[in-house]
Structure 1
């Protein structure tokens, strides 16, 4: 089946040029002494916030052809589906052109004396957008300097706004992962079954026995003990969950296995960041399972509790190194979208709408193009790291106590076979199940997530 059309609208290469006065006023915040930021708005999408690099006017050439950065450095990204594009096209008939609006502020972003994003408005920029045909070709709407502020030419703001085709395969679980559902590929109104899932409990004693036999036979299945904890942990814990993804012929093509139990911190009923639970995302190879990625999850404290997570690739089955591709938080009450988006490895501060929606880009706090641990620099030119660029995948999950049927989007450039797609489906299932695994231990889980002996107690 063909992929679904998506458009990636990217705002980047931000820079601000403000003349330095001979005697700056003490009451005015100037970019040389304090960073600037901007709010980027697209109607129907969460507002995003980005820091603007300051460029002194004397360092810029005056021929109008100078660009503040070489290449492209993303500051904000909006992901538009076919439905979004149709809505925009319909509204444009009645309300006119669509605009991307950027408000530029001097001063620091954040909260000061209880006032959010306290800063002085320097000016506003509106970029008209015509997204017709953007599904099939790249379009640059603006790339250059524009005057901002009350007095023309006093300050100049540089921005690049572009749209690129970003086709994706879309999958949807037909039920909650713990209920062993089918997974369908979606395009418009067409639903085609492509995978089945099997949720089960991994037996700790059985695993130990298998690992012992594997080590004796030299089959190389002793990796499990390297990535997880085999010891029995006293107290409150959730352990042994596993979900296997099969193709329609019944062959296993991916799996997610809980290798570190989700354990309540001493004196509490929550999984803490200092002691997270973890999953291995597995792919078949050479007659056995091979680790592909690791997902860590915990419960974040706050006004609204969140699911903290970190996902990393595992190079060559090494437990001591990993390349972080995503690290963020989901709202445990409302749910949200787990996203891997490596648009240029830039520092992006996406405005949060409280549910982690991937309609606006949510970037990892760790760069996805460099190792988080380990002594070696794996580099951008070595497989598989050079393959992970731009949007990779997104998985929408529901919050606690809600019926969650995850929807998974995977970029076409990251799928070459069924096993590729299945790995992302298994990862999405692990994220969804982590919502339950990190639930407060004072709350009961549904029966599908409880061991038989837990139900009897």
Structure 2
């Protein structure tokens, strides 16, 4: 089945130029932008200062992205809902409460017209540059002028869409969806591994991972069993022939931190996402999850991509590290295009927008950056105890075979199940998630 048409509105190459201030009135040392589009969350990005002599050295970093189904973007254009970029001097405030020390310098508006969507009905559409270059900010009659450089473009971003036909713990079918067409492509099998089951680590590649220590770094020994724990959950994805094509397996139990009723960040539970290879399971990625202790009812998570165990000297790369509301639900997303959210390693960071880095961190991050760029995947997560049937979107360029799609489907199931695994231990889970006798 063909991928579904999606569109990305990309804002990048932001830079500021000041003139007319004089030696006694230098430009501000810190500036940032609030990038706004109606009915979307405001995105905030730092903006670099560009000297007159460096106007041709504007970076090509991406500062913000907005994602749409193609039909949704067409409606944005029809309603003339343009993009607004507010430019501030000073330090950024809290993006949630909006408190900060910034002073508004001016607003730049970017409109859309019919040429943006002309020819955009096909996934082969090459995209449109809406605006590129320097524009005036604020009062043009002022002696001290401010200019903003920006690049705004609309790009096709076709995606495969999958829907679970039930909650992951109920072993549902998974359908590929395109418009009104739904086609079964996978089946899920949820199960419990008992404490004596060593199948996960029986293959040679898994043994190598265990020997290195850091990928399974939180697995506890049998002598450290806590009084309460949620452990051994596993979900296997099969193709329609019945062959297993991906698995998510809970390798670190979810246990309450000392003196609390919650799984905390200091002691998270963890899953391995595995793919088949040479008659055994090979680790592809790791997902850690916990319950945030900030007072908000949020699930915290960190998703790491694991290098091949046969290749030494490479660290896992964190592709996503954020929170989801356990009460209201949300979306788990992997998007390697927004320069404001760099990929990170345990020992450093990698700027996915500019491709810059340093030392071993740069080389460690490069292998992941070459494999995963732009939008990678997202999965909707229900909250508040509602029936959760994950909806998964996967970037077209990241699916070359059935196993690719299945790995992301398994990851989506693990994220969804983590919401339950991180519930306070005073709450009783539904029967499908409880071992016999619990």
Relative to the length of structure 2, the TM-score reads 0.87
Q: Does 1:101 align with 2:84?
A: yes
For residues 379-410 of structure 1, give each alpha carbon's deviation from its aligned partner in whole angstroms, at most 9, with x where no partner exists: 5664x541211111111111141111111000
The residue that corresponds to 1:80 in the other structure is 68
Are the equivalent residues in 2 in contact too, given 1:67–1:144 (CA < 8 A)?
Answer: no
List structure 1 runs of 4+ shifted beyond 6 angstroms. none
TM-score (norm 1): 0.84
CA 1:314–1:149: 2 relative to 1, 3 Å: same
What CA distance in whole angstroms lies between the structure 1 residues aligned with 2:17 and 2:316? 39
Q: Is the 8 A contact 2:246 2:407 kept in 1?
A: yes
Does 1:312 pair with 2:308? no
The answer as to whether partners of 1:110 and 1:117 remain within 8 angstroms in 2 is yes
Q: Distance in 2 between matches of 1:211 and 1:141?
A: 51
Q: After the TM superposition, which residues 225-264 of structure 1 pair with which residues of structure 2 at under 5 Å, given as runs?
A: 225=210, 226=213, 227=216, 229-232=219-222, 233-264=225-256
Q: Given the superposition, is the C-alpha separation of residues 211 and 270 from structure 1 closer, same or farther in structure 2, using an over 3 Å criterion?
A: closer
What is the distance in 2 between the residues matched to 1:173 and 1:393? 15
Whole-angstrom distance in 1 between the partners of 2:301 and 2:68: 25
Task: Find the partner of 2:293 among 293, 298, 301.
Answer: 301
> Matched residue of 1:279: which SS?
strand
Show the counterpart of 1:351: none
Pairing partner for 2:45 from 44, 50, 66: 50
- Unaligned regions of 5+ residues in structure 1, if any? 349-362
Relative to 1, partners in 2 of residues 1:278 and 1:223: Cα closer, same or farther, differing over 3 Å?
farther
Gaps in structure 2 of 5+ consecutive residues: none
Q: Which residue of 2 aligns with 1:201?
A: 192
- Determine if the alignment matches structure 1 residue 273 to structure 2 residue 261: no
Change (3 A) 1:381 1:37: closer
SS in 1 for 2:196: helix
Partners of 1:167 and 1:54 in 2: CA distance: 35
- For the 8 Å contact 1:16–1:52, the answer to whether it is kept is yes
1:321 to 315, 319, 323: 315
Q: State the Cα deviation string for residues 6-37 of structure 1 (Å, max 9, x = none).
A: 11110001111123634657xxxx7533x111
Q: CA deviation at 1:231?
A: 1.8
Alpha-carbon deviation of 1:119? 1.7
Distance between the aligned counterparts of 1:280 and 1:249, measured in 2?
A: 24
Which residue of 322, 347, 369 corresponds with 2:340? 347
User: Is 1:397 aligned to 2:381, yes or no?
Assistant: yes
Q: Is 1:428–2:412 an aligned residue pair?
A: yes
Q: Which residue is 1:147 aligned to?
A: 136
Secondary structure, counterpart of 1:434 in structure 2: helix
Q: Is this contact kept in 2: 1:31–1:106, CA < 8 A?
A: no
Partner residue in 1 for 2:104:
121
CA contact (8 A) 2:9 2:67 kept: yes
Mapped contact 1:283–1:419 kept (Cα < 8 A): yes
CA distance in 2, matches of 1:109, 1:380: 28
Q: What displacement does 1:134 show? A: 3.7
Return closer, same or farther for 1:277/1:99 CA change in 2, 3 Å cut-off.
Answer: same
Q: Report the Cα offset of residue 375 of structure 1.
A: 6.1
Residue 262 of structure 1 contacts residue 438 of structure 1 at CA under 8 Å; is this kept in 2? yes
Contact residue 235 and residue 264 of structure 1 kept, 8 A: no
Question: 1:301 Cα shift?
Answer: 2.0
Question: 1:356 — aligned with what?
Answer: none
Query: Equivalent residue for 2:171?
Result: 180
Q: 1:433 to 1:20 in 2, by over 3 A?
A: farther
CA contact (8 A) 2:287 2:304 kept: yes
**Pair 211,168 (structure 1): closer, same or farther in 2 beyond 3 Å:** closer
Instruction: Give the superposed CA RMSD.
Output: 2.7
CA distance in 1, matches of 2:9, 2:407: 27
Structure-2 change in CA distance of 1:190 and 1:219 (3 Å): same
User: Is the 2:317–2:364 contact (alpha carbons within 8 Å) kept by the matching residues of 1?
Assistant: no
| Structure 1 residues 32 and 304: CA distance shift in structure 2, 3 A | same
In structure 2, distance between residues paired with 1:150 and 1:85: 32
Q: Secondary structure at the match of 2:405?
A: helix
Q: Structure 1 pair 189/150, CA: closer, same or farther in 2 (3 Å)?
A: same
Indicate conservation of the 8 Å contact 2:165/2:389, yes or no: yes
Shift of 1:443: 1.2
The separation in 1 between residues aligned to 2:68 and 2:98, in whole angstroms, is 31
- Deviation of 1:56 after TM superposition, in Å, equals 3.1
Partner of 2:424: 440
Distance 2:364 2:207 in 1: 28
Question: Does the 8 A contact of 1:328 with 1:364 survive in 2?
Answer: no
